[in-house]
Amino acid sequence: MPQELLLQVAPEIAANETLLHDYLSRQLKISVKEIQHVTIVKRSIDARQKVVKINLKVMVYLKGEPFLEQKIALPDYQNVANAQEVIVVGAGPAGLFAALQLIELGLKPIVIERGKDVRGRRRDLKAINRDHIVNEDSNYCFGEGGAGTYSDGKLYTRSKKRGDVNRILELLVAFGATPDILVDAHPHIGTNKLPQIIQDIREKIIECGGKVLFETRVTDISIKNNEVQGVTTQNGEVISANKLILATGHSARDIFELLDKKKVLIEAKPFALGVRAEHPQSLIDSIQYSCDYRGEHLPPAPYSIVKQVNGRGMYSFCMCPGGVIAPCATSPGEVVTNGWSPSKRDQHTANSGIVVELKLEDFKPFAKFGALAGMEFQKSIEQKAWQLAGQTQKVPAQRLVDFTQSKMSSDIPKTSYVPGTTSVELGQVFPGFLTQIMREGFSEFGKSMKGYATNEAILHAPESRTSSPVRIPRDNYTLEHLQIKGLYPCGEGAGYAGGIISAAIDGEKCAQKIAEVLKN
């Protein structure tokens, strides 16, 4: 029987198999030659003390003990070319994992995606970064893999059901992600690795007889007697099916408008909004690891911070160590930020959304838009940022301390945001109450993370697509829309997920519910 051990070791030991075996031989009082294999089961960083340690859970196999390298395999997907069709709108994590699950359950997914495949998408990302041109169907949020493809690929989630989370992580590994994601407390894939994984998922869907249609925007959903009949695409093509998974993400404003126009029940939903802060990574390392130099065995340090200010939470969101700030607008005439990092997290900057929770009452000035009030509030801030940026994708930016002191920054150093920055007093971007909370909040952050509140940090505005501003309400058990039979609101856009893993889990659940209904 292998021995399970919990260890706390220096980073260089955790990073080196030989040193780890030496360490274990000393702990177990055996010769190193007696150790056949060590499997790392869990890995996390403990930076609470002055000296940073790595927590490891390991299984130690001694010579002579049976040991089989575990290989994560794909499920036994069926050929569904002739099976009953289910429409899946949106090829983000929710839509793709719904499609895979439908195949596993013997149903044929027709995945309809407004954007291009991962390769085609790249050209449009270049156009945003270089020429300030936003393609409404192909950008950082829209296209194959959805907002997940050029995302950071951090895979931690608040989702409680460990089984569901592990299943998605294992599927990602089977599609080519590093097995490290099964072990790390804070798993991360990286923007450079995600496109190939997404492409392999699509190829599997097609190989099994499913369909994937790119550059096909759904412009209408046909509903008769409160039951879904199918969809119409921008070319006027009608695709019929009476089961529809709607997984269009939090930025599909035209879908929210369509549902509202058709009087399909939707609700305004609170979300969070703020700025994206960028610090030198070395500064964050020194704060988090209490050191002058991180060394080669520790990863670039993340941070997570939350404060209550005037009765509202202000917190870090989607923190990207060693990462880059990306222009994430989905329409011309708006500026939106978010962040990503490559698998090695080897950029010199650390960025994080720093956002304030909004309440429904904040949307009052937009009350005439009904369920779309939050979306219009969000849009108004993104459009103001674009105006202040001289009607370009150059993001309004300010040094952090200058912001807390309402002082325009005399210069903005080059940041990782490729389209460039424009020096703006960021109080002009946000409503007064939000500016006030952020000014106080940043000062508070500086008290608990010594060195954080510095003018070396540059704030970029706005960070506004943290979650959906709309909920498409569904029955908690059947997952069907409350009024419309056959309509399954799914993933982040429907308000039932926040992040890659929870969106993927939700996609699977919707597919399972459809299979249940069709079996009975």
Q: How far is the CB of 249 from ligand FAD (least distance, A)?
A: 2
For ligand FAD, which is the closer residue by CB, 256 or 430? 256
Start-to-end Cα distance in the chain: 45
For ligand FAD, which is the closer residue by CB, 150 or 445? 150
The DSSP 8-state label assigned to residue 180 in this structure reads G
The encoded tokens of residue 158 equal 């608040």
The DSSP 8-state label assigned to residue 263 in this structure reads T
Query: Which among 491, 405, 393, 408 has a CA at the least distance from the CA of 442?
Result: 405
Q: How far is the CB of 400 from ligand FAD (least distance, A)?
A: 21
Distance, CA of 319 to CA of 301 (rounded, Å): 10
Instruction: Select the residue interacting with ligand FAD from 21, 116, 132, 217 (CB under 6 A).
Output: 217
SS3 233: strand
For ligand FAD, which is the closer residue by CB, 93 or 195? 93
The DSSP 8-state label assigned to residue 301 in this structure reads P
For ligand FAD, the binding residues in 479-498 under the rule CB under 6 A are 491-493, 497
Asked if residue 274 binds ligand FAD (CB under 6 A), the reply is no
Instruction: Select the residue interacting with ligand FAD from 47, 165, 218, 457 (CB under 6 A).
Output: 218
Quote the Cα angle for 182-187-501, to 5°. Answer: 85
DSSP string, 331-399: STT---EEEE--TT--SSEEEEEEEEE--GGGGGGGGGGGGGHHHHHHHHHHHHHHHHTTSSSPEEEEE
Distance, CA of 1 to CA of 248 (rounded, Å): 48
Distance, CA of 163 to CA of 166 (rounded, Å): 5
Instruction: Select the residue interacting with ligand FAD from 83, 102, 147, 461 (CB under 6 A).
Output: 147
Q: How far is the CB of 91 from ligand FAD (least distance, A)?
A: 5
Binding part of the chain for ligand FAD, among 6-14, 49-57, 171-179, 246-254 by CB under 6 A, reads 246-254
The encoded tokens of residue 338 equal 């978010």
Q: How far is the CB of 137 from ligand FAD (least distance, A)?
A: 7
Interface pattern 27-56 for ligand FAD (x via CB under 6 A): ------------------------------
Binding part of the chain for ligand FAD, among 8-16, 71-79, 241-249, 414-422 by CB under 6 A, reads 241-249
Interface pattern 326-365 for ligand FAD (x via CB under 6 A): x-x---------x-x-------------------------
Amino acid identity, position 13? I
Helices (H) and strands (E) in the chain, counts: 12, 22
For ligand FAD, which is the closer residue by CB, 190 or 396? 190
Amino acid identity, position 42? K
Distance, CA of 159 to CA of 139 (rounded, Å): 28
Note whether 61 and 67 are within 8 A (CB). yes
Q: How far is the CB of 217 from ligand FAD (least distance, A)?
A: 4
For ligand FAD, which is the closer residue by CB, 338 or 378? 338
Query: Which residues fall within 8 angstroms of residue 14, CB to CB, at 6 or more apart?
Result: 20, 43, 54, 56, 297
The DSSP 8-state label assigned to residue 176 in this structure reads T
Note whether 499 and 157 are within 8 A (CB). yes
Instruction: Select the residue interacting with ligand FAD from 101, 135, 151, 398 (CB under 6 A).
Output: 151
Binding part of the chain for ligand FAD, among 87-95, 381-389, 402-410, 427-435 by CB under 6 A, reads 87-95
The encoded tokens of residue 209 equal 């007889």
Q: Is 207 exposed, middle or buried (0-12, 13-18, 19+ CB in 10 A)?
A: exposed
Q: How far is the CB of 250 from ligand FAD (least distance, A)?
A: 6
For ligand FAD, which is the closer residue by CB, 35 or 252? 252
Residues in the interface with ligand FAD (CB under 6 A) total: 43
Q: How far is the CB of 463 from ligand FAD (least distance, A)?
A: 10
Binding part of the chain for ligand FAD, among 75-83, 122-130, 243-251, 405-413 by CB under 6 A, reads 243-251
Interface pattern 88-127 for ligand FAD (x via CB under 6 A): -xxxxxxx----------------xxxx------------
How, if at all, do strands 218-224 and 227-233 pair? antiparallel
For ligand FAD, which is the closer residue by CB, 355 or 500? 500
Query: Which among 282, 279, 397 has a CA at the least distance from the CA of 337?
Result: 397
Instruction: Select the residue interacting with ligand FAD from 23, 142, 175, 256 (CB under 6 A).
Output: 142
For ligand FAD, the binding residues in 152-171 under the rule CB under 6 A are 152-154
**Residue numbers at the binding site for ligand FAD (CB under 6 A):** 89-95, 112-115, 140-143, 146-148, 150-154, 217-218, 247-249, 252, 254-255, 318, 326, 328, 338, 340, 491-493, 497, 499-500, 503
